[in-house]
């Protein structure tokens, strides 16, 4: 496997948040912080963002925390595509719960990381050319399956067709937020026979660690039902990267 050219540029400690399967958010953390403080930062990040994360503490010392908060000690970042050449990185979009001290040491590693991210597309294209491979288009996609799975015969029988209002069978209005929720067959012919989970607004648990507001109006890496369009809409994780805290014009965390 061709490792990315970004990762060697960033020294631990840092926090990796998986935005979608091939897009990772990196936060450079202060080297003078002890493990307890670093782990507290990582836990606060996961509690707010509700995205899988890994705290890289040092050589072969990784704390993996999944979106639910379940922790595992690892020797490597276990994300499937982390370090793969198709993956990409971003930084300084997800804020930490509390501002990090802008020490010279942090700024030096942050600057190196940002330079590596900037240079990555051109360097990757060059490495791929040397191997006779074509560089990929430079964009990241979300889960193109929308998390759908094949319907069982029983589900096909129960969920086929529409309710009198045109909404797919299986969806109900949430009494709390008014959006649809449940499981249904996707009305889009492209996903024929696929059962999709649909989340209402109450399920939106992805919050900014700094201000506590939701990162996006709907849950990330999940689907909602748009009644006007009659569509099961997938929200890729990177939709949450556009969040700006109220009262700030840019992110400093």
Residues that bind Zn ion (CB under 5 A): 174, 176-177, 199-203, 208, 210-211, 245
Residue 208: CB minimum distance to Zn ion, A:
3
CA distances from 108 to 4, 11, 102, 115, 120 (A): 20, 10, 10, 11, 18
Please give the Cα distance from 69 to 53 (Å, whole number): 9
Residue 241: CB minimum distance to Zn ion, A:
12
Residue 191: CB minimum distance to Zn ion, A:
19
Please give the Cα distance from 208 to 35 (Å, whole number): 23
- Asked whether the beta carbons of 248 and 29 are under 8 A apart, the reply is no
Residue 217: CB minimum distance to Zn ion, A:
12
Residue number with CB closer to Zn ion (6 or 186) = 186
| CA dihedral of residues 54, 58, 61, 67 (deg, nearest 10) | -10
Residue 30: CB minimum distance to Zn ion, A:
21
Residue 230: CB minimum distance to Zn ion, A:
19
Residue number with CB closer to Zn ion (96 or 188) = 96
Q: How many CB atoms lie within 10 A of CB 47?
A: 15
Residue number with CB closer to Zn ion (69 or 178) = 178
Residue number with CB closer to Zn ion (79 or 180) = 180
Residue number with CB closer to Zn ion (31 or 202) = 202
The string of DSSP letters for 101-118 reads: P--HHHHHHHHHHHHHHH
Please give the Cα distance from 20 to 105 (Å, whole number): 29
Residue 213: CB minimum distance to Zn ion, A:
5
CA distances from 196 to 7, 147, 238 (A): 35, 7, 20
- Asked whether the beta carbons of 9 and 30 are under 8 A apart, the reply is no
């Amino acid at each position: 496997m061709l490792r990315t050219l970004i990762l060697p540029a960033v020294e631990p400690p840092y926090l990796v948040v998986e935005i979608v399967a091939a897009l990772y958010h990196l936060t450079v953390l202060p080297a003078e912080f002890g493990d307890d403080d670093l782990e507290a930062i990582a836990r606060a990040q996961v509690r707010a963002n509700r995205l899988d994360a890994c705290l890289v503490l040092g050589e072969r010392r990784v704390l993996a925390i999944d979106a639910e908060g379940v922790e595992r000690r690892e020797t490597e970042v276990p994300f499937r595509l982390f370090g793969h050449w198709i993956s990409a990185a971003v930084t300084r979009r997800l804020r930490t719960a509390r501002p990090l001290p802008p020490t010279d040491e942090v700024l030096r590693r942050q600057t190196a990381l940002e330079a590596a991210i900037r240079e990555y597309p051109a360097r990757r294209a060059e490495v791929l050319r040397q191997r006779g491979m074509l560089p990929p288009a430079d964009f990241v996609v979300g889960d193109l399956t929308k998390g759908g799975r094949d319907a069982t015969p029983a589900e096909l029988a129960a969920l086929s067709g529409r309710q009198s209002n045109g909404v797919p069978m299986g969806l109900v209005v949430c009494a709390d937020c008014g959006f649809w929720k449940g499981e249904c067959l996707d009305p889009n012919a492209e996903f024929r026979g696929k059962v999709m989970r649909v989340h209402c607004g109450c399920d939106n648990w992805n919050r900014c660690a700094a201000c506590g507001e939701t990162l996006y109006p709907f849950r990330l890496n999940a689907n909602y039902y748009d009644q006007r369009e009659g569509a099961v809409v997938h929200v890729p994780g990177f939709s949450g990267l556009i969040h700006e805290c109220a009262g700030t014009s840019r992110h400093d965390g």
